[in-house]
Amino acid sequence: MTKPTEKVVCTSCYRSFEEVPTTSFLSGSRTYKCPHCQAKVAYPMTASHSCLPWFIVVIGGIGVIWGLAAGQFILPGFLLLLGLWMLLHDAGVRRKVKQAEERAKDVDSQPPHS
């Protein structure tokens, strides 16, 4: 079974290309290798994964409140931090990709130098 290719914009050289993504099972983020500059391009997590960090944050949050009462909050605290880190990481990747896509539009709209 072959995965479908996806059209992405390189966050290093701002050129678009089509590649089969490598999806990280844990974080759900997709990575591509740019054929132009060989840079590793990270894309935000897939829609099916985007609820996972929220789930971890909620479970961790409940665990922290519950754990505070029981005097044990290291593990739920760690879960909460992990979920928050995943959300922040994904937001950072999203912003970088958005900037790259805007830069790519500028590159495409420029008249070619000949």
* Distance of closest approach, residue 10 Cβ to Zn ion, in angstroms: 3
- Closest separation in Å from C-beta 14 to Zn ion: 7
What is the C-alpha to C-alpha distance for residues 76 and 57, in angstroms, rounded to an integer?
A: 9
User: Bridge partners of 17?
Assistant: 8
Give min distance, CB of 113 to Zn ion, in A: 19
> Nearer to Zn ion by C-beta: 91 or 107?
107
Q: Cα-Cα-Cα-Cα dihedral of 10, 18, 31, 37, to 10°?
A: -40
Residues that bind Zn ion (CB under 5 A): 10, 12-13, 34, 36-37, 39
